[in-house]
């Protein structure tokens, strides 16, 4: 016999409350540490990749040299490179017997950031390069007609390509946030040390702790949403309209 609708509704609310309480219980010190580390790694690697990728993309558009086509092709390939391959390359570089083994960086946050920078920089560079190909020459020409200095021209380029650069950074950030393969290899998913949200979700799923995995997944989505929201509000750019009256 089914319960009356009101009772059934009350049970659903109760169950919802229980789940929310359970989620807050899950938000213990360790989880908070994982979230903090994830944010540090993601923001740091996105920032470094933006600093490298944006000027590289602008430069690639501006210069003409023999073999530029090959460089662009390599960049496009790297944009789609499998994270595990990048992780493996960084691992081989940083492992004890590797060329950079003396630095002792394997299984650290720094190693994870390096791997992510290698993944993100070609993406940001590629998007900025493509956007520059469309608009940068017009902007540079305009800057010359206005008598802008080289520095003023660069500033104008970054301002005018703001939407595209924003998109490039957000895309890079999304990749950094969702990445598992490379950071698992170079970070090792070590508890209290290099365990981040994506590697934890993967681990929890393997252990069959689905509730906790889903909880972390929800938190990850909420963080991504919040950061996108803040970035969007900060930009505050005028709505572009091509209406012609």
Span near another protein by CB under 8 A; candidates 20-28, 206-214, 217-225, 233-241? 233-241
Q: Are 112 and 183 in contact (CB under 8 A)?
A: yes
Nearer Cβ to another protein (66/239): 239
Tell me: does residue 145 bind another protein (CB under 8 A): yes
What does DSSP assign to residue 179?
A: -
Which of 40, 81, 101, 160 touches another protein by CB under 8 A? 160
From 60-68, 189-197, 226-234, 237-245, give the range in contact with another protein by CB under 8 A.
Answer: 237-245
- Which residue has tokens 């909880």? 215
- Please report the sign of the dihedral spanned by the C-alpha atoms of residue 101, residue 88, residue 55, residue 37: negative
* Using rule CB under 8 A, residue 245 touches another protein: yes
Residue 151 to residues 61, 140, 158, Cα–Cα distance (Å)? 17, 11, 11
Binding mask 84-123 for another protein (x = CB under 8 A): ----------------------------------------
CB-CB contact of 54 with 168 (8 Å): yes
**Segment interacting with another protein, rule: CB under 8 A, options 18-26, 147-155, 179-187, 219-227:** 147-155
Of the two residues 102 and 245, which places its CB atom closer to another protein in the complex?
Answer: 245
- The residue among 11 and 146 lying less far from another protein, judged by its C-beta, is 146
Residue 168 tokens read as 């490039």
Options 147, 206, 208, 234; binder of another protein; rule CB under 8 A: 147
Piece of the chain touching another protein by CB under 8 A; list 31-39, 111-119, 145-153, 193-201? 145-153
Give the pair of three-digit tokens for residue 131: 């956007």
| Dist CA 114 CA 35 (whole Å) | 19
| Among residues 22, 95, 146, 231, the one that binds another protein under rule CB under 8 A | 146
Instruction: State the Cα angle at 83 between 162 and 67, rounded to 5°.
Output: 65
Region binding another protein by CB under 8 A among candidate stretches 36-44, 46-54, 134-142, 183-191: 134-142
Task: Assess 239 for contact with another protein (CB under 8 A).
Answer: yes
50 close to 169: Cβ distance less than 8 angstroms: yes
Q: Token match 């040299």: residue?
A: 65
What six digits make up the tokens of 221?
């989505």
- Indicate the residue among 54 and 184 with the shorter CB distance to another protein: 54
Residue 42, CA distances (Å) to 32, 35, 38, 47, 158 in order: 15, 11, 6, 8, 23
Name the residues that contact another protein, by CB under 8 A.
Answer: 138-139, 141-142, 144-149, 152, 159-160, 162-163, 237-245
């Amino acid at each position: 016999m089914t319960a009356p609708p009101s009772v059934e509704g009350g049970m659903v609310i109760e169950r919802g409350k229980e789940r929310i309480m359970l989620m807050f219980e899950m938000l213990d010190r360790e989880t908070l540490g994982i979230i903090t580390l994830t944010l540090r790694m993601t923001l740091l690697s996105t920032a470094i990749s933006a600093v490298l990728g944006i000027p590289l993309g602008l430069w690639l558009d501006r210069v003409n040299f023999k073999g530029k086509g090959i460089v662009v092709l390599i960049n496009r390939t790297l944009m789609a490179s499998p994270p595990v391959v990048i992780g493996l390359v960084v691992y081989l570089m940083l492992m004890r017997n590797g060329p950079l083994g003396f630095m002792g960086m394997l299984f650290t946050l720094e190693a994870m950031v390096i791997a992510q920078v290698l993944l993100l920089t070609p993406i940001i560079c590629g998007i900025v390069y493509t956007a520059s190909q469309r608009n940068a020459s017009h902007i540079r020409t305009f800057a010359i007609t206005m008598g802008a200095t080289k520095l003023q021209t660069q500033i104008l380029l970054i301002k005018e390509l703001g939407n595209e650069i924003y998109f490039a950074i957000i895309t890079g950030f999304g990749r950094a946030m969702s990445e598992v393969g490379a950071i698992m290899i170079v970070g090792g998913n070590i508890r209290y040390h290099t365990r981040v949200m994506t590697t934890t979700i993967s681990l929890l799923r393997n252990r069959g702790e689905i509730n906790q995995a889903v909880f972390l997944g929800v938190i990850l989505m909420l963080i991504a949403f919040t950061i996108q929201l803040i970035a969007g509000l900060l930009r505050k750019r005028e709505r572009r309209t091509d209406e012609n009256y």
